Every structure is written in structure tokens, then in C-alpha cells.
Amino acid sequence: MSNPPRYLIIGRVLKPWGVRGELKIEILTEFPERIASLSTIYLGDDAKSFSVERARLHSGAALLKLRGIDTPQAGDEYRDWLVQIARADAIKLPRGKNFLYELIGLRVVTTDGELLGEISDILDTGANDVYVVRASAHSPSPESGGMKVKRGARAREKNREILIPAIEDVVKEIAVERGEVVIKLLDGLL
């Protein structure tokens, strides 16, 4: 499992909006209504802090007025920058939901006990997420007592990537506390 990040991405600056320096934000969170209540956001890789003067949802995007950005020209400097919040300010997720960062590094095991590898990335395809699983030469689970778990030909090639759709028919259990995701292999999946 990976270390928790200090900030969570909730959007991306699209462009300045209006003449007073508001920014139009592409929403990249499942909880867009939360944006309207933010008091502080962080922009870019360096997480530059800004106080939020106003925030509202508008036509599938968010409009933010940030202290210190008062003209469209000043706002244009932040075009394409990521909009982040402090992890401590994130909402508590409903039972059975996880932040994506919590899944990176989890072992992926089939319902038959075959270790496929670890989640190295998560792709957003629009319809559903897809877990990028990197097969590794040896990834024993704690339950195996340090011995290699059952491995099939699918997982033998070190660093091979396997794409697993994150859908109910495939993902049977996400157990962050055990460090694993249990999947059911459907015909033609691998």
C-alpha cells in the first residue's frame, strides 16, 4: 500500500471566468457539492494555498473566486493546474468506498487464490475505473507464511500489465486492511 498523500485532487483549472478573476474548474471528484463549502484550496504541484472567497457549481463545472486572483489575466496563469484539498479536509467516505490512493499497491488475488500482482495505477475510462495490475516475480501474501501463493501462467511475466475492470461482476472484495483486492476472472478477461 502507498503512503497517503497530503493533498487530494478534486479538479483542474480550465480557464478564467468573467472579469473578476473567477476560475472555471473541471470537477474531478464524486462529491462536487462539497466544493461549494471549501475555505482553502491548493493549486499545482507545489500546492500553492488560496483562500476561497466564493464557490458555486455552474453547468457541470465549478466556479471559484480565490483571494489574490482578481483579473482574468491573473487567473490565466493557473490554466490546467490541478485543484487540490488537504487530505484532512476530505469528506468521510461511505462504507465500502475508498479513495483511489488507498488502492495503489494492493495485491490482486483471484477467488481461486492466484496472485496476479499489485495495483500500480487506476484509469478512468468514463464508464468505470480500470485497475492496472503489474505482475511481479514474487509477491507472497502475509497469509501464505512468506511462501509464494498459487501462481498461474497469467502472472509469470515480471512487470507485465494486466487491465482489470473495476465492476461488480469482477471485483468481489476490497480489503485495504489486508492489503488485497479479490477478483473473479471472467472468460476472456486475461
Residue 123's pLDDT is 92
Question: Per-residue confidence of the chain (190 residues) as pLDDT tens digits?
Answer: 557 889 999 999 999 999 999 999 999 988 898 898 899 999 999 999 999 999 999 999 999 999 999 999 999 999 999 999 999 888 888 888 888 889 999 999 999 999 999 999 999 888 899 999 998 655 444 444 443 445 554 554 566 899 999 999 999 999 999 999 999 988 877 7
What single string gives the DSSP state of each residue in the chain?
A: -PPPPSEEEEEEEEEEETTTTEEEEEE-SS-GGGGGG-SEEEETTTTEEEEEEEEEEETTEEEEEETT--SHHHHHTTTTPEEEEEGGGSPPPPTT---GGGTTT-EEEETTS-EEEEEEEEEE-SSSEEEEEE--S----GGGTTSPPP--GGG-STT-EEEEE--TTTEEEEEGGGTEEEE-PPTT--
In order of start, what are the domains of the chain with their CATH numbers?
7-89 (2.40.30.60), 100-183 (2.30.30.240)
For the stretch 163-181, pLDDT in tens is 999 999 999 999 999 999 9
